[in-house]
Structure 1
Amino acid sequence: MSELHPSSANRTIRGAKLHDGLLDPAAQLAMVADIRAVARDAPFVTPVTRFRREMSVRMTAAGRFGWVTDRTGYRYEPRHPSGVAWPEIPASVRAVWDAVAPNARPPESCLVNWYAPGARMGMHQDRDEADFDQPVVSISLGDDALFRIGNIARGGPTESVWLRSGDVLVMSGDARLLHHGVDRIAAGTSTLLDGPGRINLTLRVVT
């Protein structure tokens, strides 16, 4: 993996730190290969919400925990729905965490979301983890995504920014519990993947 130099965020959005283009093209290609290996061991699934609706993103995970959504609710689980243990977090992914969150505990989960061109993610908080002093680190690969970030309380004014392939976003401190989501994907803005779409990796400490 290419050397990373995240000494400071390129910019901030409501306190979240955005490292523009932290991953160069070679690092992005290597990471995509690592994620494909994760998906071979723990295939993508289409989550079903507790309201019995299929989500538009497909998910898998690596690390000690993965994220499971079904008719009983949302939760972290130590195994893929098939019963297999989640694969280890790839070294290429872990290196990003170490670079942008050097003082944090080791990540215990890497959630992998696949966004087809029409997929989106509604506004939500990441608050099912036990230690909010630990950051959430998001890595974008593939097509651009219109990311929206708001407030700790639901509602109110929001800001939006396009996340591009190789960008890394860190939500920590006062930004850790802000509501956020993805409004749309700009299909065809990247040639990284075999076709249109986006891979988003989010690293977290769960316990």
Structure 2
Amino acid sequence: MTALIPRPTTEIAPGAVHVPGWLTIEQQRDLVTACRGWATGPVPIRHTKLPRGGVMSVQTVCIGWHWQPYAYTRTAGDVNGARVSEFPEWMVRLGRRALLGAYGDEQAAAEYTPDTALINFYDGQAKLGMHQDKDEKSSAPVVSLSIGDTCVFRVGNTETRTKPYTDIELASGDLFVFGGPSRYVYHGVPKVHEGTADPATGLASGRLNITMRVTGLTDREAAR
């Protein structure tokens, strides 16, 4: 759906850039199809178990590298022991285009080589608490793509989970990149606006979030 009032690209904080409507409906539909395939395995989508016994309300499937709190491995020892799906070259190209779209820096975009993605599915009740993406060895930017239901995305600071923070809405097709001074900002999703998804994307309900990262790891360095 096209917004009645165009939403401009906005730098929320240095290095944290929101690009509304970056993905076309066709691109969103293709990503939904790809994510459905990854969700079935070889490592299926699951509610991640936390070290202290809690379970995340968000469902997650990973490609390239498997993430579990708080390390990356090639195989999913906390799920079924299988090796995760490879990170496809077309996703690398998508990540580079996204970085160019957010920053306008051709050299940085050309050098950006994501090797993993965490794919999170939110139903209407799911939330994600304030956290930092800091399990990567690399400090390269994180590229985040949203499809489906609109959510409230909370962008905080690098020092604390509490204020100051800024709440924005991420709608279907939106791109958000955080890097540079904002690479390690605390961020979270306190609310999903259920029923706002456009069925034309292939996702009739819920929110799909794809975050591409550069782990900076080799197989030898990865946690075993």
For normalisation by structure 2, the TM-score amounts to: 0.81
Partner residue, 2:156: 150
Partner residue, 1:45: 46
2:134 alignment partner, one of 115, 127, 130: 127
| CA-to-aligned-CA distance 1:118-150 (integer Å, 9 cap, x gap) | 001000111111121x11000101100100011
The answer on whether the counterparts of 2:133 and 2:184 sit within 8 Å (CA) in structure 1 is: yes
Identical aligned residues as a percent: 32
Partner residue, 1:54: 55
Q: 1:50 to 1:141 in 2, by over 3 A?
A: same
- Give how far 1:28 is off: 0.5
- Give how far 1:189 is off: 0.5
| CA-to-aligned-CA distance 1:67-125 (integer Å, 9 cap, x gap) | 113xxxx2212113212211123455333201023144411111011111100100011
In 1, distance between residues paired with 2:91 and 2:124? Answer: 24
1:96 alignment partner, one of 79, 88, 94: 94
Partner residue, 2:214: 205
| CA-to-aligned-CA distance 1:22-71 (integer Å, 9 cap, x gap) | 111011001110111111222111111112011100111111x12113xx
Any unmatched runs of 5+ in structure 2?
Answer: 1-7, 100-108, 217-224
In 2, distance between residues paired with 1:89 and 1:166? Answer: 21
In 2, distance between residues paired with 1:37 and 1:59? Answer: 13
Aligned amino acid, residue 78 of structure 1: R
Q: 1:104 to 1:127 in 2, by over 3 A?
A: farther
Partner residue, 2:4: none
The answer on whether the counterparts of 1:22 and 1:166 sit within 8 Å (CA) in structure 2 is: yes
Q: Which moved more, 1:77-86 or 1:22-31?
A: 77-86
Runs ≥4 residues deviating over 4 A: none
- The yes-or-no answer on 1:12 pairing with 2:11 is yes
Q: Secondary structure at the match of 1:206?
A: coil
Any unmatched runs of 5+ in structure 1?
Answer: 1-8
Aligned amino acid, residue 67 of structure 1: W
For normalisation by structure 1, the TM-score amounts to: 0.87
In 1, distance between residues paired with 2:184 and 2:210? Answer: 18
2:147 alignment partner, one of 138, 141, 162: 141
The answer on whether the counterparts of 2:132 and 2:185 sit within 8 Å (CA) in structure 1 is: yes
User: Alignment length, in residue pairs?
Assistant: 193
Partner residue, 2:83: 85
Aligned amino acid, residue 12 of structure 2: I
Considering only CA atoms, is the larger Rg found in Structure 1 or Structure 2?
Answer: 2
- The yes-or-no answer on 1:182 pairing with 2:189 is yes
CA RMSD of aligned residues (A): 1.6
